[in-house]
Amino acid sequence: MDVISILEKKTQSVTTFDVHVRAQRAEEHPRVFTSIHVTYLVAGSGLDPTAVERAIELSETRYCPTQAMLVKAVPITHSYEIRRLPEP
DSSP per residue, 4-47? HHHHHHTT-EEEEEEEEEEEEE-SSSS--EEEEEEEEEEEEES-
Looking at residue 1, its pLDDT comes to: 86
Domains of the chain with CATH codes:
2-84 (3.30.300.20)
- pTM for the full model? 0.89
CA–CA dist 32, 27 (Å, integer) = 9
CA–CA dist 37, 63 (Å, integer) = 18
- For 28, phi then psi, to 5°, come to -95, 155
Looking at residue 78, its pLDDT comes to: 97
Distance of CA 43 to the CA centre of its chain: 13
Q: Say what percent of the chain tops pLDDT 70.
A: 99
Q: What does the pLDDT look like over 3-17, one tens digit per residue?
A: 999 999 999 999 999
Looking at residue 86, its pLDDT comes to: 75
Looking at residue 70, its pLDDT comes to: 95
pLDDT at 76 over 90: yes
